[in-house]
Every structure is written in structure tokens, then in C-alpha cells.
Amino acid sequence: MRKTLAAAAAAATLAAPAAAEMEETLVTVVTSPEPQTQLMSMVLTMQAVQKGVDARILLCGPAGDMALAEAPESATAPQPPRDMSPQGLLKAAIENGATAEVCAIYLPGRGEGPEVLMDGVGVAEPPAMADALLADDAAVWSF
């Protein structure tokens, strides 16, 4: 009987799910031109921020348009089901402590400077961004 109880206890311990370890930092890389994908990337990033994760957002290519002070309608138009926009949720993420940057080549590719970006958005430095992406404690989400 004693062996059976010990074996049952060992089996229960092995079968119990391990506590999920949350990464300490998150780098969300958004390149998609699709407003729905852009919005979902911000929804999930905001969820991580609300759980206390240090989030860094990198916007490249068409997704960089989300960071423009004069953003296109695709970045500002409310979407169902909660009438949120990609840019609106990007702003909320920044207000809640996330760091947001456009790719280093985004603005030169447009022939513009950082003055066209909305408040709170910077330009990523490639060495620093590479370090963030390679950090042992970082999760990287790509949209």
C-alpha cells in the first residue's frame, strides 16, 4: 500500500502542469499592412503590458504608418467589435509604459524625418533593437 501511495503521489506530481513562466520583456514586431492584424498585435501587446511585461514595439514597412502623426485612415479607423483603431491602441500601449519605435529605415524610405511621428514614438537604433530581440528574457512576437 505504501508503494502504491508513493507511486500515485509521484505520478500526480509529474502530471501536474508546470507553472507557466512569463517572459520579463516582449518585443512586438509589426510589419503587416492589414489593419486587423495591426490592431490584434496591439491588443495582445496591451494584454502583456497589463500583466506587467516590459513591452517594446517595432513598427516596420506599412505598419510604420501607425506611428505617423498624420496617419492614414487604415491606422485610425475604428474596428469592430470595440471600435478601436491600431493607432489608438498603440497610443494606449505607450501611455501604459510600452516603448514604440519605427524601423531605422522607415523614415528615410519615406524621405521624412522623425518630426512626422506621433508623440511617444522614436526611431529604433539597430544595435539596441538587435540586443532587445536577442535578450534571454525576451519573447518576440511578429505580426
Q: What pLDDT does 16 receive?
A: 43
What's the CA gap between 61 and 143, in Å, rounded?
Answer: 12
Domain ranges of the chain: 27-142
Q: What pLDDT does 18 receive?
A: 42
At position 92, the amino acid (one-letter code) is A
Cα 121 to chain centroid, rounded: 14
Q: What pLDDT does 22 receive?
A: 64
HEC string of the chain equals: CHHHHHHHHHHHHHHCCCCCCCCCEEEEEECCCCHHHHHHHHHHHHHHHHCCCEEEEEECHHHHHHHECCCCHHHHCCECCCCECHHHHHHHHHHCCCEEEECCCHHHHHCCCHHHECCCEEECCHHHHHHHHHCCCEEEEEC
Neighbours of 69 (CB within 10 A): 11
**Which CATH class, in words, describes the domain spanning 27-142?**
alpha beta
| pLDDT beneath 50: ranges in the chain | 1-19
Q: What pLDDT does 20 receive?
A: 54
Q: What are phi and psi of 115, to 5 degrees?
A: -65, -15
What's the CA gap between 32 and 84, in Å, rounded?
Answer: 17
Q: What pLDDT does 121 receive?
A: 98
